[in-house]
Amino acid sequence: MPTFPLPADLDALHSEAIEYASAVQNMLAASGGCKGLASEALNVLGNNAVLLHRGVRSLCEDGWTPVTSLLCRSLLDVLASCIAVCAKPQDADFMGFKYLSHFFMGLLAEPGLSPAETANFTSVIKTYEAALSPSDQQRAQKLFVKGKPELYWFKPQYSSVKDILATATVPIYQMFKMFSGPTHGGLPMKLIMNDDANSEDIAPREHPKNTHRAVGASSRLLVEVFRLRDHWDNTASNENLYTSFITNLAKLKP
């Protein structure tokens, strides 16, 4: 049992966000699942978003609300990657390839790999490559030959998470500015999402004000991630659920 259970309104909002994500996912599954590497990338990103959102709740209910600033920042990274994948439909599957293969290309660049490891990682990349159109396969092959990838998978198409989120069609950029401060152990981690930032007591405790802030933020970000997926894979068939969520979020009282 959680030490500090969410109040009813937050519990409902948190659950509504997951229900929306499930509706999007279930509709896609009913139509045969992922179609193309853009969809595959959005699937992975959506899974990560659900885990992060659920993690925010657990931290709040256990008295660790200030730490949720890091998870919300990660949710913003997930959303940025979703935008980078599908912002340009003609490039979406290639961007999906870049996202999905980036980790394995990085591993191949590490020294000391065994022949078996090299073959395994190469096989994964080539499996993704084979799912592309012939023209995108050529682009993927050039990326593979290049060797060690950029630090951030979306480069050079986009220079930073900041630049990607600045293009978002919903007002997310201000949230990015707020949650960027706590990253890397910065002072803002002690200050934001903390109902008593002057206290040096590190024991878990309730943070009613900022728990609302944290759960509201993670719920919004989860829904925005799955709205992109709904638009990409389901022709925005669940837009009524999205609109209902946004209406309920606006009613949330701190």
- pTM of full prediction above 0.75: yes
pLDDT in tens, 90-145: 999 999 999 999 999 999 999 999 999 999 999 999 999 999 999 999 999 999 99
Sequence spans of domains, the chain: 8-88+161-251
Query: How far, in Å, are 93, 97, 138, 171 from residue 134 at the CA level?
Result: 12, 13, 7, 37
pLDDT in tens, 173-215: 888 888 988 888 888 888 889 999 898 888 999 999 999 999 9
Task: Quote the pLDDT of residue 15.
Answer: 97
Task: Quote the pLDDT of residue 178.
Answer: 87
Q: What is the mean pLDDT of residues 233-247?
A: 97
What region does 54 belong to: left with phi over 0, alpha with psi -120 to 50, or beta? alpha
User: Average pLDDT of the chain?
Assistant: 95
Confidence of residue 253 (pLDDT cuts 50, 70, 90): confident
Confidence of residue 171 (pLDDT cuts 50, 70, 90): confident
Task: Quote the pLDDT of residue 64.
Answer: 96
* Number of CB atoms found within 10 A of residue 81's CB: 25
Residue 80 has pLDDT above 90, yes or no: yes
Q: For residues 250 and 105, what is the distance between their CA atoms, to the nearest angstrom?
A: 43
